[in-house]
C-alpha cells in the first residue's frame, strides 16, 4: 500500500470515529441544564408563584433518577411548595417539597413552580440530584 493510500485510510478511520461519537453522544454538563440551578436560592414573595425554567432539551436521555427538592435557608422543609410541569402538565411524584421526575425525557424543558406558603417572603434553595449515564 502506498503512503497516500495509507494516509487516506487513516483519515477516513479517524472521521468514522468522530462521526460515530457525535451520533452516539455523551453527556455534556455545558449543554445539559439539569443541574444548572443546583443550590440556587430563590425568593418566593408572599401570595405569589415563582417560575424557574430548567432546560433539559440537550440532555438527551443521559439523566436518570432525577429529583428536585426545595429547602429553606437552614436545609429544612420550607413553607413554600414545589410543583414541576412539562408541557403545561404537572409531572412526577411529589409531596409539595420533593418531586421525583425519574428519567429525563429527550428534549424536556421543565417549569418549576414555587408557591408562597407563609406570610412574608421566603428564600428557598433548589436542589437537584440524579444519575448520569453515557451510552
- CATH assignment of the domain containing 101: 2.60.120.680
User: Which triple of cell numbers denotes residue 127?
Assistant: 436542589
Helix (H) or strand (E) holding 123: strand 122-132
Question: Residue 103 sits in which domain range?
Answer: 41-132
| Predicted local confidence at residue 117, as pLDDT | 86
Look at residue 9 and tell me if it is in a domain: no
Share of the chain above pLDDT 70, in %: 81
Q: Model confidence over 8-36: pLDDT tens digits?
A: 433 334 333 333 333 346 888 888 999 99
Look at residue 15 and tell me if it is in a domain: no
Look at residue 11 and tell me if it is in a domain: no
Share of the chain above pLDDT 90, in %: 66
Look at residue 2 and tell me if it is in a domain: no
CA distance 19 to 106: 21
C-beta atoms surrounding 25 within 10 Å: 14
**Average confidence score pLDDT of the chain:** 84
| Predicted local confidence at residue 12, as pLDDT | 38
* pLDDT higher than threshold 70 for residue 99: yes
Look at residue 96 and tell me if it is in a domain: yes
Look at residue 19 and tell me if it is in a domain: no
DSSP of 51-84, one letter per residue? EEEEEETTSTT-EEEEEEEEEETTSS--SSEEEE
Look at residue 36 and tell me if it is in a domain: no
Q: What's the total number of domains in the chain?
A: 1
Band (40; pLDDT cuts 50, 70, 90): very high
Look at residue 83 and tell me if it is in a domain: yes
| Predicted local confidence at residue 16, as pLDDT | 36
Amino acid at each position: 500500500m502506498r503512503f497516500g493510500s495509507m494516509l487516506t485510510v487513516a483519515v477516513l478511520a479517524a472521521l468514522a470515529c468522530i462521526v460515530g461519537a457525535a451520533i452516539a453522544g455523551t453527556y455534556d454538563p455545558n449543554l445539559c441544564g439539569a443541574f444548572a440551578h443546583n443550590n440556587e436560592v430563590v425568593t418566593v414573595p408572599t401570595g405569589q408563584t415563582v417560575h424557574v425554567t430548567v432546560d433539559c432539551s440537550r440532555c438527551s436521555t443521559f439523566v436518570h433518577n432525577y429529583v428536585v427538592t426545595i429547602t429553606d435557608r437552614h436545609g429544612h422543609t420550607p413553607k413554600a411548595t414545589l410543583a414541576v410541569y412539562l408541557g403545561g402538565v404537572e409531572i412526577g411524584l411529589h409531596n409539595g417539597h420533593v418531586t421525583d421526575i425519574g428519567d429525563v425525557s429527550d428534549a424536556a424543558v421543565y417549569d418549576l413552580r414555587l408557591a408562597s406558603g407563609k406570610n412574608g417572603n421566603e428564600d428557598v434553595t433548589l436542589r437537584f440530584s440524579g444519575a448520569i449515564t453515557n451510552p
